[in-house]
Chains A and B, each alone.
Chain A
Amino acid sequence: GDSVTQMEGPVTLSEEAFLTINCTYTATGYPSLFWYVQYPGEGLQLLLKATKADDKGSNKGFEATYRKETTSFHLEKGSVQVSDSAVYFCALNWSTGGSYIPTFGRGTSLIVHP
């Protein structure tokens, strides 16, 4: 079935460093792709999304581009802040019986030090 693989963490960075979290997917069709963020003690929040090849999703300084040729959707941010410390999940939708089910990667923990 469709699946998502993302880099294992934790990723530890200093404030203002550049961030990349890798995500690749396996899908039979052309799924929508998402990044979610989970802050400690909270549920997942949608960070950004892309629905077709070459689309770039962006929000709060984070960006990710839907690359069909490399089946990737890597998350980037030019300058991280301590407040970005959280767990980041890459996800895609797979279609079954007329419904769309989100499938998530294992999550990547980001720790940003002052």
Chain B
Amino acid sequence: DSGVTQTPKHLITATGQRVTLRCSPRSGDLSVYWYQQSLDQGLQFLIQYYNGEERAKGNILERFSAQQFPDLHSELNLSSLELGDSALYFCASSVDPPTGTVFPHGYTFGSGTRLTVV
């Protein structure tokens, strides 16, 4: 158990629907990152939240959104789903260092949510 909890583990839904993926970071970690993993694109960074605020954005579609709540858990909302959205969605958490210092730590990943759009 990495300490990062993602639910649900599997999700099957139809095109056009909306789903919510949930992530609880490791205790003490303030940053949450969302990644999409697919066979053709590899691991794509979607978005980062730090202590409730959006910190960085990657290749996240407009149909996707995320938020981080006061208890630091995060949700990734995927709407108007398409077949191509089928993928593994990972959440990772980290302890952020002070700005400007070397980042010595790795990131702790959850076991992912496998989304299948049919």
Q: Residues 1-20 of chain A: 1 if any B CB is under 8 Å from the residue's CB, otherwise 0?
A: 00000000000000000000
Q: B42 to A107, Cβ gap below 8 A?
A: yes
Q: State whether the Cβ of A102 lies closer than 8 Å to any Cβ in chain B.
A: yes
Q: A32 to B102, Cβ gap below 8 A?
A: yes
Q: A43 to B102, Cβ gap below 8 A?
A: no
Partner of B109, one of A45, A96, A97: A45
Partner of B103, one of A36, A51, A96: A51
Considering only residues 64-92 of chain B, those with a C-beta below 8 Å from chain A are 90, 92
Q: A96-B56, A107-B43 are in contact. Are A43 and B110 (CB under 8 A)?
A: yes
Q: B55 to A97, Cβ gap below 8 A?
A: yes
Q: A45-B109, A107-B42 are in contact. Are A99 and B104 (CB under 8 A)?
A: no
Q: How many A-B residue pairs have CB under 8 A?
A: 65
How many residues of chain B are within 8 Å of chain A by beta carbon?
A: 28
Q: State whether the Cβ of B24 lies closer than 8 Å to any Cβ in chain A.
A: no
B109 proximity list for chain A (CB < 8 A): 36, 43-45
Assembly CA distance A23 to B103 (angstroms)? 20
Assembly CA distance A6 to B50 (angstroms)? 29
Q: State whether the Cβ of B58 lies closer than 8 Å to any Cβ in chain A.
A: yes
Q: A99 to B2, Cβ gap below 8 A?
A: no
Q: State whether the Cβ of A106 lies closer than 8 Å to any Cβ in chain B.
A: yes
Closest 3 CB pairs of A and B: A46-B106, A43-B109, A104-B43
Q: A105 to B56, Cβ gap below 8 A?
A: no
